[in-house]
Amino acid sequence: MAKDFVKRSENFSEWYNELVVRADLAENSAVRGCMVIKPYGYAIWERMQATLDSMFKATGHVNAYFPLFIPKSFLSREADHVKGFAKECAVVTHYRLKTNEEGTGVVVDPEARLEEELIVRPTSETIIWSTYKNWIKSYRDLPILCNQWANVVRWEMRTRMFLRTAEFLWQEGHTAHATREEAVAEAERMLEVYADFANNYMAVPVIKGVKSPNERFAGALDTYCIEAMMQDGKALQAGTSHFLGQNFAKAFEVQFLNKENKLEYVWATSWGVSTRLMGALIMTHSDDNGLVLPPKLAPIQVAIVPICKNAEQMAEIDTKVQPVIDALRAKGISVKYDNRPEYKPGWKFTEYEFKGVPVRLAFGPRDLENGTCEVCRRNTLEKETRPLDGIVEYVDNLLVDIQHSIYQRALDFRIGRTRKVDTWEDFKVEIEKNGFLLCHWDGTVETEERIKEETKATIRCIPFDAPEEEGKCIYSGRPSHRRVIFARSY
Amino acid sequence: MAKDFVKRSENFSEWYNELVVRADLAENSAVRGCMVIKPYGYAIWERMQATLDSMFKATGHVNAYFPLFIPKSFLSREADHVKGFAKECAVVTHYRLKTNEEGTGVVVDPEARLEEELIVRPTSETIIWSTYKNWIKSYRDLPILCNQWANVVRWEMRTRMFLRTAEFLWQEGHTAHATREEAVAEAERMLEVYADFANNYMAVPVIKGVKSPNERFAGALDTYCIEAMMQDGKALQAGTSHFLGQNFAKAFEVQFLNKENKLEYVWATSWGVSTRLMGALIMTHSDDNGLVLPPKLAPIQVAIVPICKNAEQMAEIDTKVQPVIDALRAKGISVKYDNRPEYKPGWKFTEYEFKGVPVRLAFGPRDLENGTCEVCRRNTLEKETRPLDGIVEYVDNLLVDIQHSIYQRALDFRIGRTRKVDTWEDFKVEIEKNGFLLCHWDGTVETEERIKEETKATIRCIPFDAPEEEGKCIYSGRPSHRRVIFARSY
């Protein structure tokens, strides 16, 4: 299966595209820019969803559902917002088809034109704040802590599976608060949730920070983000949480009576992660042999492959293996026992390796005799023979170990590809090697734009934990008080 | 809260609309025909989803995700299919907005017109079978058992929340098989799953049957359905499962090499249930005091309300109640303890009653003294005082009892409103009283259409368990071999 599979070092981009298809994660559809998420890819996404959803609920959020369509006039209410999204809107203009004159097919019925065009939501702030207007009268109605799992559409010109598609799946949280402080705290809290998820479930180490004004969400006062480094050294924004101030409350006239009985505009946040996380997961851990999945999100955590010459031996192994399967499952470990006779063990090994199954066990005739089995860990491809006695605890610990190892490996990689750069000459050389460059910046939009034009690098974030340090802007030489992260990005 | 709430007997339709809004289930949005599903309504839907999803997985199905958009030409490939959906298609024609000439708003950019219009999926057979074409080469690739949870759009002219909305949420299963028998068996199996879910989780008794040709899904050879009776005696189709034959395989040229190495067209099924189930749930059980929810799907199964005069008493009750809450939760029962001081007990009673919480417990000062509490069951509104000792087991059994009782009540109601009718004169009288009429029918589309024109009644289904019985068609007098169910429906 992994035959003719391109190496990361040869062509990282092609490696990614091929991996997505060959590991049965997704494929391009007949509709430009839209992907089909295949069952194996969707099973990983389902695990992401379930984990995130329980984290949202544990922090007091509830789910709801708002319309797919947004009246064009709603989108225009917040000036920055519409500017940010107008160029990538899918527009519904008609609501009926009819048979063509020749009777051979269907055409859009010109008489079924909508009075006002509807936009397929690129994000839902406007439709949600038009709804919140009816929900909020008094401080007693606040906070509102809603999330929705939904599809959104942004008509991107250049698309790549999971990373940038015209339609994608995501969750979008939209909260309403009585005070600025509470809204800021909410936006920060949700960034913590995202960072926790990325670090501890995806095993993708992320840097938390705030976006420069240039990279802010359209309509936000502040955008917080988590940034990850892919194996080619490029940055990937894995999640964002926005402090929206009172912008949307003002655009939709959402006011509340505070405890002093005075009318005030409501404070807002929104925050989202999407199927883009799948791209981050793949590009952080996978290797030239295929996918590498963190045990906590792997649809199959342990694959067990019997090796035998005939049906009799297979039956013997089946009997021997069943208690191991039962015991693993009793621990909540997801096991696939693959005793299909029509496929050879070697084919199965490659298959589960390619699909990133964290642990593979193999039982052969000799193992039957000796009471052993072969254990192979996907992240290092190391194999060892272990006694069956105690194998369940061993595998359980191994899964924990793999989860930690791949996180640590990714963290070491990021640290190794992050360096301080202090001159413009160095910057231009270093950025060609990708990775994160810690640099001083004068805080202006102009400088950031110039740097982007000249090098394609952008400020990924101003890290929350960036220490104060006096320095000079890498580009303009003007004074700066802390370093920010520059990188090329997905 | 239930003040001024219209009675079912006064105006069933208004009762329903008001209940949906006042119980915080859903509301109409600013977009014509699209609803907002509010957190409490969505929490019920989430429980439905979780249960159904685990039932689908237990029967071997996997989830996947296919594009929201369908190229217009795809929809036209299957003649009956396009005829069925053309009149209610939302059509995307453009992919960009631009600032208007006055600079005051945005307009659709006429230069960003799509070469081929895209339809927002009303159902996904066409896009999915265009994908399956690439997945299926040989009998080894079959069966494919995919489901997707998605939103769909059908531009309905008259909409009602949950029952008929322009956008709705649903699941759609799409399976591919090597033989006709296997596909028919799959369609039947999924109807059984739906019936199991309706009967045993929603507590909505349903009749399983097959649709008459007139009521078949556009593109199906057979449509199986589950039909429920609402409290006004009208029928509601709660789920359908379609045997699609080779229609879509032929439309999209999906062939496979069978074991004899010959090319054959693939056999298909599709099956779906939607947020419409919410409407069925509400209209089956709820009463003039608000929602009545089956314990198995209630977001809150037990509400506990303390009754006290001061903070000191409240603290005493808090202490006393905590072990009860813990013990209930340990049994997997979802509990809400509402000790908010700003609301009075009476207000809380009405609130949980209106929201259909199956069991409410109240603790007052006298209960503190006596070691008792008041138990109120929502379905009958009966109250009794019970010792705290053993209260957890009592409540646990009570929830099971309520689940059964509301099912039995709905079943008795349906049986009471179902009768045999043998003459056309009687039919015209009886149909005005609603309910199910068991009648002989000559099997022709013409007769069914005439009856519909004259009485607005349709054939809901030909029940699987309808016994053979010779008779004469209620309308034409021609011979018939079994009775079918006529009713007016949602």
What is the pLDDT, as a whole number, of residue A102?
Answer: 85
Task: State the residue range of the domain holding B335.
Answer: 300-401
Confidence band (pLDDT; 50, 70, 90) for A25?
very high
Asked, for residue B410, whether it belongs to a domain, the answer is no
Inter-chain contact A93–B93, Cβ cutoff 8 Å?
yes
User: Do A216 and A347 belong to one domain?
Assistant: no
Tokens of B225: 């359905």
Confidence band (pLDDT; 50, 70, 90) for A1?
very low
Largest CA distance in chain B: 82
Share of chain B above pLDDT 90, in %: 94
**Residue-wise burial string across B337-364, b where 16 or more C-beta atoms lie within 10 A, e elsewhere:** bebeeeeeeeebbbbbbbbbbbbbbbbb
Examine the fold and report which residue of B285, B318, B349 is the final residue of a domain before the chain moves on.
Answer: B285
The total of other beta-carbon atoms located within 10 Å of residue B82's CB is 23
Is B33 within 8 Å of B159 (Cβ atoms)? yes
Asked, for residue A404, whether it belongs to a domain, the answer is no
According to DSSP H, which parts of B344-456 are helical?
345-354, 365-370, 391-416, 424-430, 445-455
User: Do B34 and B175 belong to one domain?
Assistant: yes
Mean pLDDT within A133-153: 97
Q: Which of A63, A131, A169 sits opposite B36 (nearest CB)?
A: A131
Name residues 406-465 of chain B within 8 A of A (Cβ).
none
Examine the fold and report which residue of A260, A285, A310 is the final residue of a domain before the chain moves on.
Answer: A285
User: Do A110 and A224 belong to one domain?
Assistant: yes
CATH number, domain with residue A481:
3.30.110.30
pLDDT at A77 > cutoff 80:
yes
What is the pLDDT, as a whole number, of residue A387?
Answer: 96
Tell me the three-class secondary structure of B4-69, residue by residue. Answer: CCCCCCCCHHHHHHHHHHHCCCEEECCCCCCEEECHHHHHHHHHHHHHHHHHHHHCCCEECECCCE
- CA distances, A77 to each of A80, A123, A247 (Å): 9, 14, 10
User: Do A69 and A198 belong to one domain?
Assistant: yes
| Angstrom distance (rounded) from CA B435 to CA B473 | 19
Mean per-residue pLDDT over chain A, rounded: 96
Mean pLDDT within A437-450: 97
pLDDT in tens, B408-417: 999 999 999 9
pLDDT in tens, B386-424: 999 999 999 999 999 999 999 999 999 999 999 999 999
User: Do A336 and A251 belong to one domain?
Assistant: no
Residue A444 is classified by DSSP as -
Closest CA to A359 of A311, A309, A324: A324
The whole-angstrom distance between B77's CA and the closest CA on chain A is 9
| Angstrom distance (rounded) from CA A179 to CA B82 | 52
Inter-chain contact A62–B72, Cβ cutoff 8 Å?
no
What is the pLDDT, as a whole number, of residue B104?
Answer: 80
Confidence band (pLDDT; 50, 70, 90) for A79?
confident
Tokens 């799948």 belong to A278
pLDDT in tens, A167-212: 999 999 999 999 999 999 999 999 999 999 999 999 999 999 999 9
Tokens of A52: 């995130």
**A2 CB within 8 Å of a chain B CB:** no
Is A280 within 8 Å of A230 (Cβ atoms)? yes
Inter-chain contact B151–A151, Cβ cutoff 8 Å?
yes
- The reply to whether the predicted model has a pTM over 0.80 is yes
Share of chain A above pLDDT 70, in %: 100
pLDDT at B83 > cutoff 50:
yes
pLDDT in tens, B148-188: 999 999 998 899 999 999 999 999 999 999 999 999 999 99
CATH number, domain with residue B344:
3.40.50.800
Mean pLDDT within B328-356: 96
| Angstrom distance (rounded) from CA A49 to CA A197 | 11
Q: Find the residue in B nearest to A43 (Cα).
A: B63
Confidence band (pLDDT; 50, 70, 90) for B2?
low
Asked, for residue B130, whether it belongs to a domain, the answer is yes
User: Do B342 and B217 belong to one domain?
Assistant: no
Mean per-residue pLDDT over chain B, rounded: 96
Q: B92 φ, ψ to 5°?
A: -90, 125
User: Do A361 and A430 belong to one domain?
Assistant: no
Residue B110 is classified by DSSP as T
What is the pLDDT, as a whole number, of residue A2?
Answer: 59
pLDDT at B1 > cutoff 50:
no
Asked, for residue A405, whether it belongs to a domain, the answer is no
Mean pLDDT within B257-283: 98
Region of residue B390 (phi > 0: left; psi between -120 and 50: alpha; otherwise: beta): left
CA A260 from centroid of its chain's CA atoms: 43
Mean pLDDT within B294-304: 98
Inter-chain contact A106–B86, Cβ cutoff 8 Å?
yes
Strands A62-63, A144-153: pairing kind:
parallel
| Angstrom distance (rounded) from CA A147 to CA B352 | 24
Asked, for residue A440, whether it belongs to a domain, the answer is yes
Asked, for residue A292, whether it belongs to a domain, the answer is no
Asked, for residue B351, whether it belongs to a domain, the answer is yes
User: Do A122 and A260 belong to one domain?
Assistant: yes
**A54 CB within 8 Å of a chain B CB:** no
What is the pLDDT, as a whole number, of residue B342?
Answer: 87
Q: Which of A68, A73, A130 sits opposite B167 (nearest CB)?
A: A68
- Torsion, CA B420, CA B421, CA B427, CA B430, rounded to 10: -40
User: Do A341 and A313 belong to one domain?
Assistant: yes
pLDDT at A241 > cutoff 80:
yes
CATH number, domain with residue A250:
3.30.930.10
Examine the fold and report which residue of B262, B285, B308 is the final residue of a domain before the chain moves on.
Answer: B285
User: Do B178 and B326 belong to one domain?
Assistant: no
pLDDT in tens, B84-101: 999 999 999 999 999 988
Q: B309: buried, middle or exposed (CB in 10 Å: 19+, 13-18, 0-12)?
A: exposed
Asked, for residue A1, whether it belongs to a domain, the answer is no
Closest CA to A462 of A195, A215, A212: A212
**B68 CB within 8 Å of a chain A CB:** yes
User: Do B396 and B432 belong to one domain?
Assistant: no
ipTM of the complex: 0.96
Q: Among the ranges A222-231, A338-347, B2-11, which has the highest mean pLDDT value?
A: A222-231
Name residues 153-212 of chain B within 8 A of A (Cβ).
153, 155, 167, 169
The whole-angstrom distance between A364's CA and the closest CA on chain B is 26
User: Do B127 and B55 belong to one domain?
Assistant: yes
Domain count, chain B: 3
Mean pLDDT within B334-348: 95
Mean pLDDT within A333-356: 96
